[in-house]
Structure 1
Amino acid sequence: MAGKARTKPRQRQREGGASSRPAGGARRRLPWGWIALGGLLAVGAVVAAAALLTGGGGGGGSAAAEVRVGPGTTPGGTPDFALRTVSWSGGGEFVLSRNLGRPTVLYFVAGWCASCIPETQAWGRIVQEVGDRVNVLVISPDPNETEGRLLRFKQLAGVGDGLLWAIDRGGRLTQALGVVSLDTTIVLDAQGREVYRDGLPTPYSKLRQVLEPLLGGWP
């Protein structure tokens, strides 16, 4: 009798307290030192993404500002954090506890992540439609990320200036939130409570479905 097929680790997801996992697509696990994982991506996929997204992206300021996590939490139980956006995204400080009262979205990408472009475009569309009723942070946890490469990614996605862009080079926030793959989306309600999480590219229709009840309507 043939041996049993290996079962993939279950991806943690939350949607209103329930766990589910979208079908299809391999996850891009974060490979950096604080996560012991093997086989992040097929070599061909990495090369293809890098070829698409790294052209001319090394400049434009590579130093990422400090990311601070804790010691407190929001009323919803999420660790409080402060991060500074990259210079071309304003260079301002975003502190979660000072931005409650509206939903906050954390979307984890990398400047070379071609599969992250469609959801980035979806978030760009959503921000155009709902404006400042939602905070959307696009965060790269790649320790080798540069502002120039991230800007190249933004330009390829063709999104406007409504998104906030940051680099979590030290992985502090990424670790604190238990993020283990790119394309991870975390949605917090107005009290900072996590109400949705996934680890795969998510279409506009699903993102709107998650956000609409938090906003009390659309737009």
Structure 2
Amino acid sequence: MKRATLERGAIAFLLGYAVYLVFFGSPSATGRFDLGPAKMNEARPEPPYRAPELSLPMDGGPSVSLAELRGRPVVLSFWAPWCAACRRELDGLERLAEDLGGEAAVLAVATMYGQELDKVRDLAKRNGLARARLLLDGDDEAARRFAVAVLPTTLIVDAEGVVRYRVDGVRHWEDDDALADLRRIASLPQDAAGPQTP
């Protein structure tokens, strides 16, 4: 009788754990959990606050800081190679950067990647990141400063360096609605006058 109760308890636990993994993520090769898309995937207003200083190296290039980008809006997207939802969003970020044509800077910040820098580079290459600049947050400090708890997390910083909106989870940035929302949030003209040099 006691053994049957223990077996049923173990089975119930395993079934519960399986349901948890299906709905809330699965462990990656690094042992971290892919948080998946958040329940709220739309841009929502943030109480305006000055963006923390950020200076991160581009992969194989110089550092980029928010201070040097002041004067135009910035789309700051945090992602990690072990996050399946993040990988789906990368292509949309590149298309967004192309659609904006330099009106706003699009920064794809790789974070929480540990020893997987090669995987970061491979994903960036496969998704054609060029206009969306790839920045490396190797020590996760930038993610901590911006209180990133869900990946992907995207923040929209206005031209004065103030964080206005936040998206926790996936946003399909290649959609016309997302582009229109971003233009409204960042106070950009609704119809682009053409590409500008980034």
Question: What range is the shorter-chain TM-score in?
Answer: 0.5 to 0.7
Which residue number in structure 2 is paired with residue 98 of structure 1?
68
Of 171, 186, 192, 1:202 maps to 171
How is 1:32-43 mapped onto 2 (pairs within 5 angstroms)?
41-43=25-27
Query: What is the DSSP-based 3-state SS (H/G/I as helix, E as strand, rest coil) of the residue aligned with 1:106?
Result: strand
Distance in 2 between residues matched to 1:178 and 1:26, nearest whole Å:
23
Distance in 1 between residues matched to 2:118 and 2:178, nearest whole Å:
28
Give the deviation of 1:162 after TM superposition. Answer: 0.5
Distance in 2 between residues matched to 1:85 and 1:167, nearest whole Å:
6
Is 2:98 the partner of 1:128? yes
Of 108, 113, 119, 2:83 maps to 113
Distance in 1 between residues matched to 2:26 and 2:81, nearest whole Å:
17
Identify the structure with the greater helix proportion. Answer: 2
Give the deviation of 1:80 after TM superposition. Answer: 1.6
Residues 95 and 185 (structure 1), Cα distance of their counterparts in 2 relative to 1, 3 Å cut? same
> What runs of 5+ residues in structure 1 fail to find an aligned partner?
1-24, 28-40, 51-74
Distance in 2 between residues matched to 1:121 and 1:143, nearest whole Å:
19
Give the deviation of 1:146 after TM superposition. Answer: 3.8
Give the deviation of 1:132 after TM superposition. Answer: 1.5
Distance in 1 between residues matched to 2:191 and 2:165, nearest whole Å:
18
Q: What one-letter code is carried by the residue in structure 2 that aligns with 1:129?
A: D
Give the deviation of 1:26 after TM superposition. Answer: 6.1
Which residue number in structure 1 is paired with residue 183 of structure 2?
212
Asked which structure has the greater CA Rg, the reply is: 2
Query: What is the DSSP-based 3-state SS (H/G/I as helix, E as strand, rest coil) of the residue aligned with 1:133?
Result: coil
RMSD: 2.4
Residues 218 and 122 (structure 1), Cα distance of their counterparts in 2 relative to 1, 3 Å cut? farther
Distance in 2 between residues matched to 1:203 and 1:145, nearest whole Å:
28
Q: What one-letter code is carried by the residue in structure 2 that aligns with 1:101?
A: G
Which residue number in structure 2 is paired with residue 171 of structure 1?
140
Counterpart contact for 1:127–1:162, Cα < 8 Å: yes
TM-score, normalised via structure 1 length: 0.61
Residues 26 and 169 (structure 1), Cα distance of their counterparts in 2 relative to 1, 3 Å cut? farther
How is 1:51-90 mapped onto 2 (pairs within 5 angstroms)?
77-87=50-60
How many residues matched? 150
Q: What one-letter code is carried by the residue in structure 2 that aligns with 1:95?
A: S
How is 1:154-169 mapped onto 2 (pairs within 5 angstroms)?
154-157=124-127, 159-169=128-138
Residues 193 and 156 (structure 1), Cα distance of their counterparts in 2 relative to 1, 3 Å cut? same
Give the deviation of 1:161 after TM superposition. Answer: 0.9
Distance in 1 between residues matched to 2:56 and 2:86, nearest whole Å:
21
Which residue number in structure 1 is paired with residue 44 of structure 2?
none
User: Percent of pairs identical after alignment?
Assistant: 22
TM-score, normalised via structure 2 length: 0.67
Counterpart contact for 1:110–1:145, Cα < 8 Å: no
Cα deviation per residue 1:172-194 (whole Å; 9 max; x = unaligned)? Answer: 11111111121111111111111
Give the deviation of 1:160 after TM superposition. Answer: 4.1
Q: Which aligned segments of 4 or more residues in structure 1 are displaced greater than 6 angstroms?
A: none
Distance in 2 between residues matched to 1:169 and 1:26, nearest whole Å:
29
Give the deviation of 1:130 after TM superposition. Answer: 1.9
> What runs of 5+ residues in structure 2 fail to find an aligned partner?
1-21, 33-47, 193-198
Cα deviation per residue 1:107-156 (whole Å; 9 max; x = unaligned)? Answer: 11112322213321111111112222111111122151443211211233
